[in-house]
Amino acid sequence: MSPAARRTLAFAVLLVAAGRFPIAAQQPAAGSAPRWERREAMVRMRDGVRLFTIVMIPRNAPGPVPILLTRTPYGAGGWGENEAAPGGFQELAADGYAFAFQDIRGRNRSEGQFLMNRPLRAPGDTAGIDEATDAWDAVDWLVKNVPNTNGRVGIFGVSYPGWLAEVPLVYPHPALKAVSPQAPMTDTWMGDDFFHQGAFRMSYGFEYSWGMEGQAAGLPSLPIDRADAYDWYLAFPSLKDLTERTSAMRLPTWRHFVEHPAYDSVWQARAFQRSVRGVPVPTLTVGGWWDQEDIYGPTATFAALERFDTAGVSSLVMGPWSHGQWSRPGGDALGNVRFAGATSDSFRLNIEAPWFRYWLRGEGTGHFADAQLFDAATGRWRSFAKWPPPEAARRSLYLRAGRRLAFDPPAERAAADSFVSDPASPVPYRPRPIEVTYSQGSRWNRWMTEDQRFVARRPDVLSWESEPLTEDVVVAGPVTAKLFAATTGTDADWVVKLVDVYPDTAAEAGMAGYELMVAGEILRGRYRASFERPEPIPADAVEAYTVDLHPQFHTFRRGHRLMVQVQSSWFPLYDRNPQTYVSNIFEAPASAYRARTHRIVRTAAQPSHLELLVLPR
């Protein structure tokens, strides 16, 4: 095997470990008879390009079976070797399905040109191709060529395959009867893999695009040569310097980042929630509350489908998981936080399998809640007939004097808290050392549940904390930060975190005083008025900023405290804002990066606060 091939294989293995797609099949037990017939085919698309496809057909099925299809950029070739049952799908396999796995165009053994997050064809373009037309053609081939099936097909997948599962909803094949997008990268600019509300996900975007495209671009192995990636990225004085010194412009996706920093038509054409116009197929959308890669996609997909779901066939599942954790055994913990029971196993057995069983096999009652959500604080699943629940009341959580947090608004006419944000010393997004994202031993998958006390003593992180709660506060719905802030510069990032502070007497092992981030997000200030058209921030002027922290379901228990943290860097996951306005930060010179003073205003007229939906007692 060549060094380039070994590198590609190693990257795929690390993606598997990180949960970007389910694990490959294991060897069958010694002496056991194979249960599956494995076939390989090159399936022709409407433009003549052929896609490598594996079909696994159950032997001795008592009758016709449905087909479950996963389309992937990560390599279908290892699926079902030695005719073993599809790994990671034991609960589904027990019900009886034919499984199909397909390399998308331009990846691995498929023909054609790969394009990251390929945009949907323009409305009215009947000659073009996209991932939805390829899915249509794949489904059409499967129902015509796989023997002993009942003519019903489901599509599902996690992460990139999750997005590949949802785009067929734009124009689905008649045989497509069930779709489950799981951790879909629904909008990679607004809040999934590559940007979050304008802030560029630097380390992830660099390392992921290098792993996906580096070999084809003739680049060597990932050039990070420091044990702490924080130090490696900090050695580049600007994003422009990182691009030039690593030859990253040879990566098509990185070039795409540089040429399209704002939310223009190029990004919007890739955003599923902007394209869907109905719910023509029953859909089960799945995500994790602490998904470190695609936290925006599941709830954005569900919200988009809810606008059209008059038949009640769209459901949402959110669990206490990191990216794709539900597709792996267990799920009783994430980092230091433990849950009551194996939540991943419970999901696959009690939610996913019955859902596919009904829509593809016609078995069961067909009664599915609008949303099934896991509350990590109480360790319980809860079903909602409507999400967000209409009975939830809007409450505001205000930043107050003395770094206090309260549901009562401030009365002061002049009040603010300030800090200096220095690009030369950015706030790390997780405890150091920060390992390469997809490396052996990396803590990437659990960073969102790390104890936030690791930044508590930094002067560039402001914290406001409530008194101990005298009763439970159950947040159920969107969480939004409304900041009134000023800067001495002309651009700034605003990071806002909603934190559950455990009592110092917490009974859970290792959780005394623990600061658990329940929700956290970032907004690049230049996009405060428009994501499509950035503009400078007037120096020293108080401006309004809205930071979407996404929907959440979490009980802040009696005796715990609520905390809000605000900072202006999250490095190196996000690039440093120069804090001097330039038209394109990817091209900003090192001289533009300046330390600036930021103020968070908390007055009666300009009360910085979080807006929550809270269930009544």
Check: CB of residue 116 under 8 Å from CB of residue 84. no
DSSP 223-289: ---SSSHHHHHHTSSSHHHHHHHHTGGGSHHHHHHHH--S--HHHHTT-GGGT-----S-EEEEEET
The CA-to-CA distance between both ends of the chain, in Å, stands at 62
Specify the residue for token string 């790969």: 114
Please give the distance of CA 289 from its chain centroid, rounded to a whole number.
9
Q: What is the pLDDT of residues 112-138, one digit of tens each?
A: 999 999 999 988 888 899 999 999 999
Query: What is the pTM for the complete model shown?
Result: 0.95
Cα separation values, 145 from 109, 142, 290, Å: 20, 5, 40
The torsion of the CA quartet 262, 194, 259, 584, rounded to 10 degrees, works out to 60
Of 225, 198, 259, the residue nearest 524 (C-alpha): 198
User: What values do phi and psi take at 255, rounded to 5?
Assistant: -60, -35
* pLDDT value, residue 123: 82
Of 242, 573, 237, the residue nearest 431 (C-alpha): 573
Write b or e for each residue in 234-253: b if 16 or more Cβ atoms lie within 10 A of its Cβ, otherwise e. bebebbbebbeebebeebbb
Q: What is the pLDDT of residues 419-475, one digit of tens each?
A: 999 999 999 999 999 999 999 999 999 999 999 999 999 999 999 999 999 999 999
Q: For the chain, which domains are there? A: 34-161+170-175 (3.40.50.1820), 205-267 (no CATH), 276-387 (3.40.50.1820), 393-614 (2.60.120.260)
Q: Quote the CA–CA distance of 118 and 121 in Å, as a whole number.
A: 9
Specify the residue for token string 């038949």: 311
Check: CB of residue 464 under 8 Å from CB of residue 564. yes
Q: What is the pLDDT of residues 237-265, one digit of tens each?
A: 999 999 999 999 999 999 999 999 999 99
Please give the distance of CA 541 from its chain centroid, rounded to a whole number.
34
- For residue 499, the cross-strand partners are 517, 563
Looking at the chain, the whole-number percentage of residues with pLDDT higher than 90 is 89
